[in-house]
Structure 1
Amino acid sequence: MEYRLETLSDDFVFLEGPRWHDGQLWLSDQWGHAVHALAESGERTKVADFPQRPSGISVLPDGTVVVVSMADRRLLSVTADGVVAEYADLSETVPHDLNDTVADRAGNIYVGTVGYDIVNGADFKPAELFLVRPGGRFEVVADGLEFPNGAVITPDGGTLIVAETFGNRLTAFTRAADGTLSGRRVWAALGERTPDGICLDASGAVWVSSFMTDEFVRVGEGGEVLDVIPVPGRRAVACALGGADGRTFFGLTYAGAHEDIVSGRKLARVEVCRVAVRAGGSP
């Protein structure tokens, strides 16, 4: 099926972490240093400022929204009226930025790390995936990942799938009842595609934002390409399914280079289309 995106909202710096929650799309303007909520109509509300660069957003079973604060390596809860509080502090254990997240039905949060000083051009190093338990205790549940990024959990709770951006693959783990991981395996090899943010649909397929190839790609387990939405000249950064019936696809794109991100130029936008298969419940 051919899908065509239309702009819903623009004038952002660099967007990440889209989550459909409570009738709105919550998203982080990472280099605009704020979290926003966006209605399906495009009406936009700034929820709160996040001076240390917000990234992944998780919604806990009780409705609490938890946002990654990248540079100071903390998780911060935020209410709809903008009250921010510390949820977990990983700064003494994690030397570089935190990244994207996903939460399970028990309130456990998986959060990836960058692994090296990417902002200042350090050499690449593999990174770790942390499990942050309710109350803020945390532990490493996977390591040696090539830039862990977006993640989803299957509806039965039995599998975690994480994007390894610089590994050009989606990697799956079997989840135990306590949230720990085992059985690491390649869920989909993506060739030249570089997966950033991802989301799951009700058929079990994963929508992948391929940053370096300027496209959103829907893939099945094993790597079969089911749909492609090209965004030529714009980086595909992250995606989510939502809307009243779960069939609105939200694609976050960026029309600039790395130096434009840190300059604060507003080159990011949210684009939308309607898709055939609704959201699968994660993230």
Structure 2
Amino acid sequence: MADTDFEILDERFRRCVKLSARVERLYGECRWAEGPAYFPAHRSLVWSDIPNDRMLRWDETSGAVGVFRAPSNYSNGNTIDREWRLVTAEHGGRRITRTEHDGSMTVIADRWQGKRLNSPNDLVVAADGAIWFTDPAYGIDSNYEGIQADSEIGACHVYRIDPDGRVEIVADDFVRPNGLAFSPDGRRLFVVDSGASHVENGPRHIRAFDVDGARLTGGDVFATCTSGSFDGFRFDEAGRLWAGAADGVHCYAPDGALIGKIRVPERVANVCFGGPKRNRLFICATTSLYAVLLPVNGAR
């Protein structure tokens, strides 16, 4: 393809894409693809297929796709910790787990003050090893992406798991907290509120918080989605934000301006940077896994 895969809304976006590049479909047999996480050591990508209750693995060297884990407790978001272990948010298990190097699993958190979590959605690991995650109710709303149940907490919050295992609420004014990521310098945390899925004219935006150790301040709206609602997102090294939306991946400059889009023929859930140079953007979109090579690099 030529430039049909890209929509340039600001000249700053031209340096972020190669118009000769194309969006490639790597796999297409999911029900709702989510939570991509790239492992440089073995050049592979793991992601979730939530309604099918499985995790899949794509091998970059061969293009082969196989089942990584099934059942997966309706896993959703995935990330890599500082020791290159897989950390997963499970809808079905209503917990955060870590897959150890030997394949065994460790439960990191499943409760707050004795009450079961709703259905952890997305998560990131901070430089100090703390895990920050969102806990909307999507996995307990029905049996489609989890197991239908009542919320024991009665609300949807953003949490932090201290390295010693203590779980605490860090933001409690969200309707449905969703994707989240730290800025490249770790000083700000950005969090999606996709509450429009449950509240008429509800939020469909990304908020930006200042990080002070284990506390958050601020929380102003950074960007509002122009097509559907945001889900997951990641940053590149220059601080640009690449977010999933209904019509593809939206790219925002550090000043909050929407500068361009990568067009994808399915609703995008989440993205991550990978490849040997961290310049391949992997895109989980409804039934499929896509990828596009970019002239920019993902934040470490």
Shorter-chain TM range is 0.7 to 0.9
Identity %: 24
Match in the other structure for 1:176 = 212
Q: CA deviation at 1:278?
A: 0.8
Aligned-partner Cα distance in 2 for 1:48–1:280: 27
* Residue 48 (structure 2) pairs with residue 19 (structure 1): no
* Residue 188 (structure 2) pairs with residue 154 (structure 1): no
Which runs of 4 or more aligned residues in structure 1 lie more than 6 Å from their structure 2 counterparts after TM superposition? none
Q: Aligned residue pairs: how many?
A: 263
Aligned-partner Cα distance in 1 for 2:69–2:99: 8
Match in the other structure for 1:76 = 97
Q: Give the TM-score, by structure 2 length.
A: 0.79
Q: CA deviation at 1:89?
A: 1.8
Instruction: For 1:46-195, list aligned pairs within 5 A.
Output: 46-79=67-100, 82-90=103-111, 92-94=114-116, 96-115=118-137, 117-119=140-142, 127-166=156-195, 167-177=203-213, 179-195=214-230
Match in the other structure for 1:220 = 253
Aligned-partner Cα distance in 2 for 1:44–1:196: 24
Does the aligned pair in 2 maintain the 1:154–1:204 contact within 8 Å? yes
Q: Secondary structure at the match of 2:73?
A: coil
Aligned-partner Cα distance in 2 for 1:5–1:152: 24
> Where does structure 2 lack aligned partners over 5 or more consecutive residues?
1-13, 196-202
Cα gap change, 1:80 to 1:33, in 2 (>3 Å): farther
Q: Secondary structure at the match of 2:172?
A: strand
Q: Secondary structure at the match of 1:31?
A: helix
Q: CA deviation at 1:142?
A: 0.1
Q: CA deviation at 1:64?
A: 2.4
Match in the other structure for 1:262 = none
Match in the other structure for 1:240 = 272
Aligned-partner Cα distance in 2 for 1:144–1:224: 25
Does the aligned pair in 1 maintain the 2:35–2:284 contact within 8 Å? no
Q: CA deviation at 1:183?
A: 1.6
Q: CA deviation at 1:206?
A: 0.7
Q: CA deviation at 1:103?
A: 0.9
> Higher mean Cα deviation, 222-231 or 128-137?
222-231
Of Structure 1 and Structure 2, the greater helix share is in 2
Q: CA deviation at 1:218?
A: 0.7
Question: Which of these residues, 13, 22, 29, is aligned with residue 4 of structure 1?
Answer: 22
Instruction: For 1:197-208, list aligned pairs within 5 A.
Output: 197-208=232-243
Q: Secondary structure at the match of 1:99?
A: coil
Q: Give the TM-score, by structure 1 length.
A: 0.84
Q: CA deviation at 1:11?
A: 2.0
Q: CA deviation at 1:245?
A: 0.7
Aligned-partner Cα distance in 2 for 1:250–1:223: 22
Name which one, 1 or 2, has greater alpha-carbon Rg: 2
Match in the other structure for 1:272 = 291
Q: CA deviation at 1:222?
A: 4.1
Cα gap change, 1:158 to 1:95, in 2 (>3 Å): closer
Does the aligned pair in 2 maintain the 1:76–1:86 contact within 8 Å? yes
Q: CA deviation at 1:80?
A: 5.4
Cα deviation code 1:89-117 (max 9, x no counterpart)? 22743452221111111111111111474
Q: Secondary structure at the match of 2:115?
A: coil
